Amino acid sequence: MVRLRDGMWLTAENFRVEYAENVYEITPSEDQRALSLLCPTKNIKSRGDTLNQPTVTVDLRAEFDGVISVEATHWAGAQNKGPHFDLFPAGRPDAAADTVGTITRGPAGTTLASGALAVTVHPDPHTFDLRFHSAADPARQVTSLGHRSAGFAYTPAPSTPMQTGDMRDFAHYMFLQTNLAVGESVHGLGERFGAWNKVGQAVTLWNADGGTSSDQAYKNVPFWLSSKGYGVFIDTTGRVEMEVGSERCCRVQTTVRSQRLKMYIIYGPRPKDVLARYAVLTGRANRVPSWSFGLWLTTSFTTNYDEATVNSFLEGMRDRGAPVDVFHYDCFWMKAFAWTDFVFDSERFPDPQGQISRLKASGLCKKVCVWINPYIAQHGAAFAHAAARGYLLKRKNGDVWQWDLWQAGMGLVDITNPDAVAWYVGCLNGLFDKGVDALKTDFGERIPTQDVQWFDAAVDPDKMHNWYSFEYNRIVYEALQARFGPEQAVVFARSATAGCQRFPLQWGGDCESTPEALAESVRGGLSLGRWVAMGLLCSHSRLHGSNSYRVPWLVDEDDAGEQGCSRTLAKWAALKNRLMPYIMAQAEESVAGGIPLSLRAVALEFPEDPTAWYLDRQFMLGSQLLAAPVFEESGEVDFYLPRGRWTSFFTNEVKSGPGWFRERHDFGSLPLYVRENTVLVLGKRGVSGVGYDYAEDVEVCLYQTQPGAKAAVVSNEGEALGELVVDADGKVTGTLVLKGDFTISEAGRSIDGDAPVSIEVL
């Protein structure tokens, strides 16, 4: 944590802080897309004041419609080593648009417009004030950089500028402070497990393996979203220190150890618009195959298992009504002390290729996933080969970088070495040859920064720390694409940074099986038993444990009752199977819009509702379903419904929002409400698995629909087949795309034949 101030009046101990005080000179670019501000750190009243005087250069650039970048620089001669974010991966939007890059001068100051967003520099040169506002309505302020909001700092504080001739004993920081309006809330910054609204929190963006119950995070993303309809992307792969309304209650302070700091101000005005523009900057998610939405079962972390164990699990799941789509072999498919050497433990798996082939042929699962990471243990078959060829990260003295944390003598694949990458991909292809279809890319957070020498000597070790997760997941994802096709690749990643959404999926990290941890995971998902219900209302669902098997019959001595684990799992798996026509159609919208599919914040759908920006115990599944997990053993749950009519998925009871409600549920239900004006397409009751035809024998359910309400019909690979639309007479048109014996339910779905549920309104 880096704090520059000691309260309002004092500088923090051992710091010297310099602020941009004036805008001495404004220089427009020749293309009229940028302004460069020369900003001394004291008021310039005479020419003599320009001597022995630090300056901060603030560069403003119109990037594309609705986005303006701000870069503050102290010493421009400092190297700007990589790695850098891979921005605009699909290409930069057309810069020739007339509305992008216009500069005007007037009584209010100098204004740079970039489509919907503009920034105005105050006309008084002795007033440092940059106001970001709607280009169409300058009175609609987005945010601002006001008095003493940009600058740099040294620690320890030099007593004379002469000391800065040798910077080896000084740390140098750049900072920017955007204004927080009254009542404004801040969300994002990756996967964070505390309160969803980050105002009042200090956040360090530095990937760490800290579980899901601390201020550390596996997925640190330097992007945050404001309830005022804008977002900020911080363009550095290095460590970022955030003070979100904490050091100064009315500001978000961003600090980096560097000579420059660049961020993008991204306008909405709706949060979905912000996320769409963020996706232009950092990339959109790719499609994932329909089989990946099915139920995943794992061997769990430290358990003992072999082919017989695996078969017994999969047979038991099938026989209890919860067939598995993807089976996952966790760590001990390899021998102890040998991770990751890509070699199946020959004692337990003497014929891995044959075993995987038999699993698929028997129908016990459709696909197989195995656990990997980029850490190479000294005692595994891969280490000596990789070390001898320079594929592992080295220390500055030429030794292989090793430690005994996690694996004895562990080395790290040097992803800056093209030959190392090619070798690693070759190892992955060996797994694909054995029948492996997907990979869990675990770890990738503990990347050293001290006493290291990367193959690419031009990279900054500090910046490699977070960036490693991007390259690691990219390498594996692209290997899967090359083998199975561009839209058949699935990774199950734990670490991530900005841009990793291009390589789906991400899982939530190592959590405990407690109600509190369930809440942490919901908050973590909002920011990137009861667990079964919540998990199967996520886009992707896996049963996983640590030192115990996670099959339901071992939890409750195979209780066959309606409230037993096996029946509970079967009911929720069946519900997700039925929802797949809706989920797959929503997935296509999510990819196109750069927005989450499940664990979608309610505020993304209802940004005008102030309460929605504080809801971190419930979420949207797509745009039309709202879910509230149950955290209490009693089954009691409080939840909020925004304005409109909402229908219980389980009972068809209708509630009107906005308002708070309380219900008591057993294990077979939770508050799952359908938004009004919804056309919900459900698969046939009793369908097994997720790989069926999403247009055949479906039920089309209408929920308080008005003319024009519609739903997309897609194939089980996400291809658009057509659209169902409610006409002026309340009838559904477009049904020619449907097959078989489809039905239309005009007042919610048919609940005849459902398993009984117990929902008590309190």
How many CA atoms does the CB half-sphere of 353 hold within 13 Å?
5
Question: Residue 534 gets which letter from DSSP?
Answer: H
Question: Residue 403 gets which letter from DSSP?
Answer: B
Contacts of 709 (CB under 8 A, 6+ apart): 677, 678, 679, 702, 725, 726
Residue in 18, 445, 605, 616 annotated catalytic: 445
DSSP, collapsed to helix, strand or coil, labels residue 282 as: helix
Sheet holding 759-761, edge to edge: 619-621, 625-627, 672-675, 636-648, 654-665, 759-761
Residue in 21, 325, 414, 442 annotated catalytic: 442
DSSP, collapsed to helix, strand or coil, labels residue 18 as: strand
Contact predicate 19/41, CB 8 Å: yes
Burial class (CB in 10 A: 0-12, 13-18, 19+), 713: buried
Q: Is 510 a catalytic residue?
A: yes
Burial class (CB in 10 A: 0-12, 13-18, 19+), 760: exposed
Q: Is 65 a catalytic residue?
A: no
Q: Is 442 a catalytic residue?
A: yes
Question: Alpha-carbon distance 529 to 565, whole Å?
Answer: 7
Contact predicate 132/230, CB 8 Å: yes
Question: Alpha-carbon distance 195 to 174, whole Å?
Answer: 27
Phi–psi pair at 376, nearest 5 degrees: -115, 110
Question: Residue 311 gets which letter from DSSP?
Answer: H
Contact predicate 56/73, CB 8 Å: yes
Residue in 59, 86, 456, 510 annotated catalytic: 510
User: Is the C-alpha dihedral spanning 510, 562, 292, 334 positive or negative?
Assistant: positive
Catalytic machinery residues:
442, 445, 510
